[in-house]
Chain A
Amino acid sequence: MNPLAIEGAAEVRALVLTGYGLNCEAETCAALQMVGARVTARHVADAIADGDALAGHQLVVFIGGFSFGDHIASGRVFANRLRFSMGERLLRHVDDGGLVLGICNGFQTIVKLGLLPGLDPGLAQRVSLVMNDRLGYWDAWVRLAVDRDSPCVFTRDLPPTIELPSRHGEGKLVFEQGPLRQVLEDRRLVPVRYADETGAATERWPDNPDGSPGGIAGLCDPSGRVFGLMPHPEAYLYPENHPRWIAQREAGTLPEHGLGLHLLAGGVRAIAAR
């Protein structure tokens, strides 16, 4: 239970938005505390009413859950609320060098808000996350292949593959018509992909739980500072979260920290290093 020490982390301020059916605030805040960042958890309603809620925060986290019940479509209502209340401020936050992380429902939300893939100025939605190909919501651990050549600042220090819990019903990425997918691939804006046992990207269930093309499990913007993914790094903070931790311990391969913690640490480290 040693904290993961990051030099300068105490200067990093993170904002975690909560409420309206979001439900991963405890573990997300715990993760940021474990890496030494200063965390503020704020109800979305208060953050919107405040008008200046983002000020002073270098990292904004959109957490998992069921925002507004995910009625209509996952993240849709939340994205619209944000668009008309703090959309401009979020864009400015990113332009000013701020980081945004969206996990699961948070990823769905920032995709529908148009913050990702972030190829153009302004907020325009160009990709979406839709119903999984088979079986709908499914809870299982998945393996992710990490693209070390992606500009994503969160995944820089991760090993080539990591395992994380995945649990969602709408995680299949779809693109607007045209060359967009190729552009994202060419610019290495796909930091993580569902992978099979060999570590190769896969579209096959259950290694790929949602049927996302090319195994795409997450996207980042060209700056690498805005990152969203479907699996849950904040649910693998402790080595004992891993489904095979006892076997790993007996084999001498139990990591000191959960590998999901390293993903959040990557974001904090990128800020602290500035």
Chain B
Amino acid sequence: MHPRKIRDGVHRGVIDGGNQSGIPYSRGWELFDARYAGKPLVYCGTVAVMPITSAGRPTAEKVVRAGDVVVMLGGRIGKDGIHGATFSSVELDESSPVQAVQIGDPITQKMVADFLTEARELGLYSGLTDNGAGGLSSSIGEMATFTGGADIDLALAPLKYPGLMPWEVLISEAQERMTLAVPKDRLEALLELARRREVEATPLGEFTSSGRLRATWAGKPVVDLELEFLHEGTPRVPLRARWSPPVRPASSAEAVAAALGEQRLADAPGAIGQDLLDMLARPNMASNEHLARRYDHEVKGLSVVKPWVGARQDVPSTATVMRARHLRPEGVVLAEGVHPHYGDLDTDAMARACVDEAVRRALCAGARIDRLAALDNFCWPDPVQSEKTPDGEHKLAQLVRCCEGLRAACEAFGVPLISGKDSMKNDAHLGGVKISIPPTLLVSVIGQMPDVRRALDLAPIAAGDLVFVLGPTGRHLGGSELARQRGLTLPGVPTTDLAAAAARYAAFASARDAGLVRSAHVAGRGGLAVALAHMAMAGELGLEVALGDALLRPVPEDMPLTPAEFLFSESTGRVVFTCKPAAAAELTARLGAHGLQALGQVAAAGPDGGGWLRVRRGERALVDVTAAALRERFRPAALHGPPAPLPGQTQEVAR
């Protein structure tokens, strides 16, 4: 199946699942690498606000008592999703079973969610777990640990169609199902409400203190396992990891100089501007607005900094901000970091970069620095040494180093990991070739802010404002977008000085809270050049940047950077922000010790009424482009063409 077809299918699934569930879209992006043809990764996450207490009970506590009834709620059980969890952890080939995939129905899901909220307010259940991987075996098995056992009869479970074996009923991962623990005296009320809400609820048995998980089929025993064996019975497998840094033949000095050196600029003065335009059109950099606007950004009416910002709302926001509740000023900030290409060089550096970027993005939008939390999602190629995986020790070492980097970064920034997930067998044999995905860590950060009216976005606000970059730029082009664009192997994966970054962010957040910062953005993939391009498009104002000698002096001290290196380096830890001229002195006093450097100035819109970006080195203009020209390459239709038509719709080209 062509990746484009898979991608369109994923997009369609997110449209239906998200929109019909009434969940506003907040963040989204695509990242392409040929190796994801082995297994495309899809990360979808949701965040919810819950009341601290409900029906007089703290909602954070799960209370299941022996004698509570086991109730299955929602969709029916079918053969879909059998071995789904195993399936997501094995190699795919043409014989992979279609039925391993669960087929969801978002409206059933929405009705279940509404029902659960209503039943919770009425105190009709005491505990619940969703039927995810492993289906009933996992949800009931897990809840049974609260009381020390459960007895269920699988023949009671409602089926989509007859013919399922008991073991299939037990492990099917058919969607939209929850398992509830219901006190006996609430059961009738719960079932009555379910009838009125047209949500199917079925008692399957009860929680016990027998120490065993027992299942029968119309009275005949089919499962009888000790809970302790079920949860603790798996022996630990000792695995060996061996780290040897990857050795890649670097591109020749001549090739590097031809791409990044000063001579090229003398020969072709507009070369960097052209590099930037070409970069914005690359799949990993171009706008995906045409995909994102198929999602509902506004339901619940809480959006503050939207997924798309700027004068034309066509620039992806640094982080999004939503009001947490109606009629209240507090906000929630969401951001993320993902850098699989750094992982090719060093997964420790990748993990640091991911946490750093997610934190930095959240801070740019206005998050409290002491109220951040993170979520880690690992997708890895099989890291267990075997005949099929002769490099398993290396892949495991990559995993170990990634965990070490993740831990170090989270500790340095004071960010707890409050949830996470992993998927460990992302390999495929396609046409006799083994394809392993690049080790991929996604770090998502959630932050609080006390008042959404203090939120910032990346659009410069007024001509005359000053543009600063906070945080040093080094020669960090390893795994960079520019390296891929130019087909070069460059040294210098961005390492992150965590202690320095943490101190820098504390100083930045304090200056931001003092009202000194007017707009802020991160320098990330594509470096400062791309960050400035985003700002020029968003503000529809001019950006005049001058590269003085001081800017081109790298940290740590080394040969001076060439302008191309400076503009496309992906050094972590950097924030680009604008401020009023009057604030410059105080900002310099507060941030001077943290690598604050003046980049230039915001200027009036160009003759076409739009933004522009000019970067000078002395008298020479290295970049001189209008926002219209940037937009021409950045906008989605330039790269992907229009999205596939929905069923029943004729295809038409977007404007």
The residues of A with any CB-CB pair to B shorter than 8 Å are 1, 18-21, 23-24, 26-27, 30-31, 33-34, 43, 45-46, 49, 64-66, 68-69, 131, 133-141, 165, 167, 169, 205-206, 232, 234-238, 240-241, 243-247, 250
Contact = CB atoms under 8 A, between A and B. Distances in A.
Contacts of B306: 243
Given A34-B327, A136-B646, A240-B455, A235 B301 contact: yes
A167 B649 CA distance: 17
The 9 closest A-B pairs by CB, nearest first: A23-B22, A27-B301, A30-B326, A69-B107, A165-B298, A235-B301, A235-B298, A136-B646, A66-B20
9 contacts: A1-B327, A24-B299, A137-B294, A138-B294, A139-B297, A167-B296, A167-B297, A234-B301, A240-B304
Contacts of A139: 25, 292-298
B456 interface: yes
A45 B110 contact: no
A45 B456 CA distance: 43
Contacts of A64: 299
A24 to B, nearest CB: 6
A69 B301 contact: no
A43, A139, A235, A245: residue with the most chain B Cβ atoms closer than 10 Å: A139
B299 A167 contact: yes
Contacts of A137: 15, 19, 294, 646
A47 B132 CA distance: 34
Interface in B85-123: 105-107, 110-111, 114, 118
B481 interface: no
B418 interface: no
Interface string B621-648: 0000000000000000000001101101
A238 B323 contact: yes
A165 B296 CA distance: 10
B166 to A, nearest CB: 32
Contacts of A169: 646
A68 B654 CA distance: 30
B7 interface: no
Interface stretch (B338-346, B370-378, B457-465, B560-568): B457-465
A238 B105 CA distance: 33
A34 B110 CA distance: 27
Contacts of B503: none
Contacts of B452: 240
B307 to A, nearest CB: 9
B453 interface: yes
Contact of A21 (B111, B299, B328, B456): B111
A64 B24 CA distance: 13
Interface in B295-329: 295-304, 306, 308-309, 311, 313, 323, 326-329
Nearest to B456: A246
B240 interface: no
A22 B462 CA distance: 42
B8 interface: no
Contact of A131 (B19, B106, B323, B649): B649
Contacts of B652: 133-135
Contacts of B655: 205-206
Interface string B282-299: 000000001011111111
Interface of B: 15, 19-22, 25, 105-107, 110-111, 114, 118, 196-198, 290, 292-304, 306, 308-309, 311, 313, 323, 326-329, 452-453, 455-457, 459, 461-462, 642-643, 645-646, 648-649, 652, 654-655
Contacts of B111: 19-21
Nearest to A23: B22
A141 B107 contact: no
B648 A237 contact: no
Nearest to A261: B301
A135 B20 contact: no
A68 B20 CA distance: 10
Contacts of A250: 461-462
Contacts of A238: 301, 323
Contact of A246 (B197, B198, B297, B459): B459
A242 B293 CA distance: 16
Contacts of B453: 240
Contacts of A1: 327-329
A245 to B, nearest CB: 8
B301 A237 contact: yes
Contacts of A241: 298, 301, 303-304
A31 B328 CA distance: 13
A45 B299 CA distance: 23
A18, A137, A138, A206: residue with the most chain B Cβ atoms closer than 10 Å: A137
B652 to A, nearest CB: 5
Nearest to B196: A45
A209 to B, nearest CB: 10
Contacts of A19: 111, 114, 197
Contacts of A30: 301, 326-327
Nearest to B461: A250
A232 B298 contact: yes
Contact of B294 (A18, A21, A68, A136): A136
A134 B293 CA distance: 13
Contacts of A246: 455-457, 459, 461
Contact of A33 (B302, B327, B457, B461): B327
Contacts of A206: 655
B541 to A, nearest CB: 11
A115 B642 CA distance: 37
A243 B15 CA distance: 22
A66 B107 contact: yes
Contacts of A141: 313
Nearest to A205: B655
Contact of B106 (A27, A46, A69, A136): A69
B648 A131 contact: yes
A138 B293 contact: yes
Contacts of A49: 196
Contacts of A205: 655
Contacts of B309: 243
Contact of B107 (A34, A68, A135, A236): A68
B318 to A, nearest CB: 13
A99 B114 CA distance: 27
B654 A135 contact: yes
Contacts of B295: 139
B353 to A, nearest CB: 28
Given A21-B111, A27-B326, 12 more contacts: A45-B196, A135-B652, A137-B19, A138-B293, A139-B25, A139-B297, A140-B293, A240-B304, A241-B301, A243-B306, A243-B308, A250-B461
A185 B636 CA distance: 38
B336 to A, nearest CB: 20
Contact of B19 (A33, A66, A234): A66
Contacts of B642: 135
Contacts of A232: 298, 301
Contact of B300 (A26, A31, A245): A26
Contacts of B311: 244, 247
Nearest to B457: A246
Contacts of B290: 135
Contacts of A135: 290, 294, 642-643, 652, 654
B323 to A, nearest CB: 7
Contact of A167 (B298, B313, B329, B643): B298
A17 B327 CA distance: 21
A137 B299 CA distance: 14
A229 B152 CA distance: 50
B506 to A, nearest CB: 24
B301 A236 contact: yes
Contact of B114 (A18, A24, A31, A247): A18
A132 to B, nearest CB: 8
Nearest to B642: A135
B298 A65 contact: no
Given A137-B19, A206-B655, A247-B461, A23 B299 contact: yes
A165 B646 CA distance: 22
